[in-house]
Chain A
């Protein structure tokens, strides 16, 4: 390629690509502003919501899910890694979610168990999963996901007959509160009971 020639196709591609990156970034930051405590007055929240929606219009993300433009653009955003914005840990650090399983045995014993993974890398991913579950708005999906987690624990303790899954968040003390001796406190958000008997078949998601 000589310097005097412009690779028009590449330039056009990058122009569209960066338009997508900017639109997603704006949509993300507006969405975060609408849901979080910021310096902006709360009366602006509907404005941020609307702005986020408008930013997604050129991406076809406001079209019906089965629309081919929506599907194609979504696929491109995902394979290029630009489907999410960059407001990590902003403007505030989200709550720290935790799930605890109470294992009930036929003889009346009760044990507490946490979901376990084998590596720190997977532990970070488990944390991301708990964030997703806790913030899900569709209750049946959340219940199904908690049931899957409970089932994975039951597989390790097949003699348990019932498992209560308690999902909550850990309220961390501020530095000042910590200096005063305050500790973490656990607040329950949701609790689910699952029966697993000795004849339990492999778990199948409800239709």
Chain B
């Protein structure tokens, strides 16, 4: 492989502490936990093959198979359970329990690698087997879990590192993986903003009005919303500009904190005004892991490392 230029190498391998990874691990653990708890009442209804819910799982999995038969799905696990004489309901609730357990282990940082793989596979299975009932939150959660699975685990704040003596990976490898997440986030916002800017409705406030009045996200009464009507075009334009410029202005030191806080504010707003709490949370977690707070606050690498537990020194030795 030909060597990349020094500038590119410095960009890709900037040494990083493992704090970003701890944020990603704990944030995703909570996300998966909230996901499972929030769907507890509808769990079987959403995933059952038999006539217990809205759409039968076998139809959704047939649609999935038309895309690729290799995509993981609940049906594989239910079939395996059937060989052990386990009913579908038993398997589905066992899956729910396994998701809860994996998410708790992630939050604690215990058996990080195994917990992340289990959480990722089970989340993919449930999201894909109910793909017709899926929306953006599932994609972003899977993206986050995927980066967590391939990340250089464990982080210095995990039980694995602090109590079980698992060694940390090098700071430059942490840098590469964090860079990948940062670049992906930039791509997401760029295309999100680019697509919004292409139509008139985000510039004149119509899209913002419609998104806040669209069931089931119509939390704010329209009578109240219309009193703030003069703000709709302004906020709509701000959303467009913030998203399309995020991929550029999150990097310069002068603007990164403003854009970082701005985009966090945007997602807090989405959560509170549209009731999309899980969506808001996953976006905040991905942003916090990718760009904050050590990055947004411009903490020098040495300071970022020094606030980690002493075990980080092990990793420092291996940087060379």
Contact = CB atoms under 8 A, between A and B. Distances in A.
B100 to A, nearest CB: 15
Nearest to B34: A121
Interface string A5-18: 01110111010011
B207 A179 contact: no
Contacts, number: 240
B208 to A, nearest CB: 9
Given A32-B198, A132-B132, 15 more contacts: A3-B319, A28-B191, A36-B198, A39-B199, A83-B139, A90-B198, A93-B210, A119-B40, A119-B42, A120-B275, A124-B275, A124-B276, A145-B55, A172-B210, A175-B229
18 contacts: A18-B183, A18-B187, A32-B198, A39-B198, A83-B139, A90-B199, A91-B198, A91-B202, A93-B207, A122-B39, A124-B216, A127-B215, A128-B134, A128-B135, A178-B222, A178-B226, A179-B226, A203-B56
Contact of B192 (A65, A87, A205): A87
Secondary structure at the B interface, as helix, strand, loop or mixed, is helix
Contacts of B38: 119-122
Interface residues of A, number: 82
Contacts of A87: 191-192, 195
Interface stretch (A49-57, A105-113, A148-156, A159-167): A148-156
Contact of B13 (A3, A36, A170): A3
Given A78-B67, A179-B226, A129 B54 contact: yes
A125 interface: yes
B55 A89 contact: no
B207 A89 contact: yes
Given A75-B70, A88-B192, A118-B41, A38 B226 contact: no
B111 interface: no
Interface string B30-60: 0000010011111001100011011110110
A175 B225 CA distance: 9
A175 B222 CA distance: 9
Contacts of A179: 226, 229
B55 A80 contact: no
Interface in B129-177: 130, 132-136, 138-146, 169-170, 172-173, 176
Given A125-B133, A172-B214, A1 B226 contact: no
B221 to A, nearest CB: 11
A81 to B, nearest CB: 3
B188 interface: yes
A132 B120 CA distance: 25
Interface string A167-190: 000101011001100000000000
B265 interface: no
